Amino acid sequence: MSKPAKPGTDEQEVARLYGEPLFKLPPAESSKAPYKLGDHVTWTSQAAGCTRTKTGVIEEVLPPMIMPNRKRFERLYRSSGVGGPRDHVSYVVRVPTKSGRGVGSLYWPRASALQPSTT
């Protein structure tokens, strides 16, 4: 039988904010997030025949089967939606505007496409 989580642990905080996940991975696997909050990442995406490389900062690390918080990241939900929950650790990334002013754009890219950025 597993021990209850200590107050203030990540697992308890996630459950408090988002509810219980649909399933839990063993701790060794769920803690293998290669990126953490504030890390700079780069990825390439394609839409309408155009390929773009984006660079941004990780705003949130999401455990498996958890969707981004709709209240905190409402800009993600403005268009057709963000899709379904992912079965692996995923990340919400903010890409700053070219001018450096303004809030920037939010993305929930495929984790497999992310690469560490040098900037």
pLDDT at 2: 53
pLDDT at 28 (0 to 100): 43
pLDDT of residue 30: 44
Q: What pLDDT shows up at residue 10?
A: 64
In this predicted structure, what is the pLDDT of residue 92?
93
Euclidean distance between CA atoms 46 and 13, whole angstroms: 35
Give 64's strand partners. Answer: none
Task: Note the residue count of the chain.
Answer: 119
Question: Which positions ≥6 away from 76 have C-beta within 8 Å?
Answer: 68, 82, 92, 106, 107, 108
User: Can you give the pLDDT of all 119 residues of the chain as single tens digits?
Assistant: 555 545 555 666 666 666 655 555 555 444 557 899 999 999 998 888 999 999 999 999 998 888 888 888 888 888 766 788 888 899 999 999 888 787 889 999 989 999 998 76
Encoded tokens for 76: 């993600």
Task: Report the 3 state secondary structure along 33-71.
Answer: CCCCCCCEEEEEEEECCEEEEEEEEEEEEECCCCCCCCC
- Residue at token pair 């990825």: 43
**Residue 52: predicted pLDDT:** 92
Q: Is the dihedral of CA 78, 80, 85, 91 positive or negative?
A: negative
